[in-house]
Amino acid sequence: MEGNNFQIGEEVYVIYRNPHAANVANIEKADIVEHPNKPKELALFLHDAYHPLAVDDAVFSSFDEAEELYNQLFDYQQYD
């Protein structure tokens, strides 16, 4: 995450791991919103659910930034 300078209403990109398949991750578009149960706390709205915004979340302002880290983390060419 590039810092906690996100604002409510921002569209962001996250590297999201599939909870049903640990070795599967995708870049997904999400929105920064106010958490409905914790006023004044930010959350990611992703897949019709609220996810508390944590410092260690992989959240980016642009798809290109997310893709750069994704390619570093999941560089399958190293196994060729």
Per-residue tens of pLDDT for the chain, all 80 residues: 444 688 999 999 999 887 788 778 899 999 999 999 998 899 999 999 999 988 888 999 999 999 999 988 887 655 54
3-state SS, residue 71: helix
Q: Which residues contact 20 (CB under 8 A, 6 or more apart)?
A: none
**Which value, to the nearest 10 degrees, does the dihedral of the CA atoms of residues 22, 23, 28, 33 take?**
30
pTM confidence score: 0.81
